[in-house]
Amino acid sequence: MSILVDENTRVVVQGITGREGTFHTKRMLEYGTVVAAGVTPGKGGHEVEGVPVFNTVKQAAEKEGVNVSCIFVPPPFAADAIIESASAGLDLIVCITEGIPVLDMVKVASFLKTRKSVLIGPNCPGIISPGKTKVGIMPGPIHKPGPMAVISRSGTLTYEVVDQLTRVGLGQSTCIGIGGDPLVGTTFIDHLKRFKEDPDTEGVVLIGEIGGTAEEEAAKYIREEFKKPVIAFIAGQTAPPGRRMGHAGAIISGGQGKAEDKISSLKAAGITVAMDLGALGKTVHEVMEKR
Number of separate domains in the chain? 2
- Whether residues 143 and 285 share a domain: the answer is yes
- Whether residues 106 and 152 share a domain: the answer is no
232-269 pLDDT, tens per residue? 999 876 555 555 445 544 444 444 578 898 999 999 99
Among 120, 155, 173, the domain-final residue is 120
- Whether residues 114 and 170 share a domain: the answer is no
- Whether residues 92 and 61 share a domain: the answer is yes
Q: What are phi and psi of 244, to 5 degrees?
A: -80, 130
Residue 234 pairs in a beta bridge with 208
The pLDDT value given to residue 291: 81
User: Is residue 3 assigned to a domain?
Assistant: no
The residue length of the chain stands at 291
**For residues 253 and 211, what is the distance between their CA atoms, to the nearest angstrom?**
7
Cα of 26 vs its chain's centroid, Å: 20
- Whether residues 149 and 201 share a domain: the answer is yes
In sequence order, the 6+-apart residues with CB closer than 8 A to the CB of 114 are: none
Global pTM?
0.93
Amino acid occupying residue 117: S
How would DSSP label each residue in 4-44? S--TT-EEEEETTTSHHHHHHHHHHHHHT-EEEEEE-TT-T
User: Is residue 129 assigned to a domain?
Assistant: no
Q: Considering the candidates 24, 191, 247, 285, report the single residue annotated as catalytic.
A: 247
The pLDDT value given to residue 42: 97
The pLDDT value given to residue 255: 45
Active site residue 46: no
pLDDT greater than 50 at residue 222: yes
Domain extent, residue 158, equals: 139-290
Amino acid occupying residue 234: I
141-163 pLDDT, tens per residue? 999 999 999 999 988 899 999 99
User: Is residue 96 assigned to a domain?
Assistant: yes
The pLDDT value given to residue 239: 54
- The answer to whether 270 and 229 have CB atoms below 8 angstroms apart is no
Residue 68 pairs in a beta bridge with 11, 92
Amino acid occupying residue 225: E
**For residues 63 and 87, what is the distance between their CA atoms, to the nearest angstrom?**
16
